[in-house]
Structure 1
Amino acid sequence: MNIFELERIINEKLHSNFIKDYAPNGLQVEGKHEVRKIVTGVTASQRLIDIAIEKKADVLLVHHGYFWRGEDARIIHMKYRRISSLIKNDINLMGYHLPLDMAPEIGNNAKIAELLNILDVEPLDPLEQPPLILKGRLKQPMKGEVLGEIIGHMFKRKPLHIAPESGKLIETIAWCSGGAQDYIDKAAEFGVDAYLSGEISERTTHSARELDIHYYSAGHHATERYGIEALGEWLKQEYQLDVEFIDCDNPV
């Protein structure tokens, strides 16, 4: 398959041309045009690039690529080493950020719902299209500590749980993968019992306690591991491409 055909296919699957983002989605660094081997992963770190080189990949397909809004535009130091490694080995870099968070079925937020067996999944805010934050209902109400154990098991990382003073049971939950902790206020506004994201800030603790809502920080990497893996599996099944997911562990 040609690299530009692959880009078109993924763009259509993720509707990436219709989503405003903080970085370019799609092909970010051009390599060889014929695609046979694809390596997927969460972030295009040097470690993942080195593994892609070892695997003789033609494409490195990630959730966190390069050229973020507001970053230093110069290609020096770490950025130079990463990009030069890709270019020297003729490897394409493709990155999909918000489109991969928001995609139905294979997106990060869709996979969170699947992993936690959440029912009646729908947008938190019905006016937000396409929706970034989702909400749903647990199969049965449970204590915050019990849900924390389930999250830890499913995401392979013990979450940081900030419980409200009321200690109320959890029946409804909203979530957004990655660095989405500041949406906790919106989640509380819509009346859910708990909110889950990847990262936490100092202010998040106060919001959870004062807004009477459970909060779970399950890890930025952990909450965004499954979308890119699912995208690779979809490409493998639909187009018979050789795709391999590599999980470079990250405790954050």
Structure 2
Amino acid sequence: MSPADPGPAIPRSQLLAAFDQLLQPERFKDYGPNGLQVEGKADIRKIVSGVTASLALIEAAIAAQADAIFVHHGLFWRGQDGRNNGPIVGWMKQRLALLLAHDINLFAYHLPLDAHPELGNNAQLGRQLGLQADRRFGGNELGFLGGRRDGGQFDSAEALAAAIRQALNRPVVLVGGAPAAIKNIAWCTGGAQGYFEAAIAAGADAFITGEISEPQAHYAREMGVAFIACGHHASERYGAPAVAAHVAAQFGLAHEFIDIDNPA
């Protein structure tokens, strides 16, 4: 687009309504506010998507001339809602100062983005790994359970871990292992290690998530179910761009995904 022809624009309120209609945040009791977290310019032509509303992502969005940022991890957590109250100091001040100075809207959706059956983090990670879910489990039915899309099996937990390593292009942590070929695979992105017991109860031979905590190593060894941690950020790189691209295409807006690398 030339400066004289900047492309179509829609009102902020219309974009927010589209995100809310798609992700239905009212269905979730979440760790922080979903939706518009920081108000920017009234008309939006370009969306930048990313995983986390970090300073680096905000700076990259400014360079990309974005009017809005769409992320999974917003600015406010655990009852802290800076839209109404709370201290704005330190890193929070830095991030907000940049957003406000450049009049950029910040949209953030946490559990609703994990849960969407086609565009969400879990659905998109499954697509990336060649997995197909046939049922859901756990709180808010965030966990996905299924198997390989081609109907095959993995010969071992090590073979599954190697496939994940190749698909995500990063090291993974494997603890425990099924005694036979792995058919039933459960997954839940991010910090969902607490879903491991529910995955075992649902009949999983292996469980994939972003992080592992101390108890899960013991459960994996004792229950004969493989636990694979592939990185919080790495497991949640796919939902935000899928949703933002879908909504941008709906209105003819420009969209760009910017991945700020994170080893965690």
Alignment correspondent of 2:202: 190
Alignment correspondent of 1:202: 214
Shift of 1:230: 0.5
Gaps of 5+ in 1: none
Which residues of 2 match residues 232-243 of structure 1 at below 5 A? Answer: 232-243=244-255
Shift of 1:156: 2.0
Alignment correspondent of 2:144: 134
Shift of 1:71: 5.2
Inter-partner Cα distance in structure 2 for 1:236 and 1:7:
12
Alignment correspondent of 2:171: 158
Q: Equivalent of 1:10, from 19, 27, 44? A: 19
Alignment correspondent of 2:41: 32
Inter-partner Cα distance in structure 1 for 2:80 and 2:26:
22
Q: Equivalent of 2:230, from 218, 222, 226? A: 218
Inter-partner Cα distance in structure 1 for 2:158 and 2:182:
10
Q: Equivalent of 1:106, from 111, 114, 119? A: 119
Inter-partner Cα distance in structure 2 for 1:110 and 1:120:
8
Inter-partner Cα distance in structure 2 for 1:83 and 1:168:
51
Is residue 156–residue 222 contact of structure 1 (8 Å, CA) maintained in 2? no
One-letter amino acid of the counterpart of residue 52, structure 1 = A
- The change in CA–CA distance for 1:120 and 1:133 in structure 2 (over 3 A counts) is closer
**Is 1:65 paired with 2:74?**
yes
Shift of 1:70: 4.8
Q: Equivalent of 1:78, from 91, 108, 129? A: 91
Question: Once the two structures are superposed, what CA deviation does each residue of 1:175-215 show, in whole Å capped at 9, x if it has no partner?
Answer: 10000001111111122100111111111111111121001
Q: Equivalent of 1:93, from 106, 122, 139? A: 106
Inter-partner Cα distance in structure 1 for 2:261 and 2:47:
19
Alignment correspondent of 1:178: 190
Gaps of 5+ in 2: 1-9
Alignment correspondent of 2:4: none
Q: Per the alignment, in what secondary structure is the counterpart of residue 31 of structure 2?
A: coil
TM-score for the superposition, normalised by structure 2: 0.90
- Percent identity over paired residues: 42
Is residue 148–residue 158 contact of structure 1 (8 Å, CA) maintained in 2? no
4+ aligned runs moved over 6 Å, structure 1: none
One-letter amino acid of the counterpart of residue 20, structure 1 = K
Shift of 1:25: 0.6
**For the aligned residues, what is the CA RMSD?**
1.5
Shift of 1:119: 3.4
Alignment correspondent of 1:23: 32
TM-score for the superposition, normalised by structure 1: 0.94
How many residues align? The count is 248
Alignment correspondent of 1:251: 263
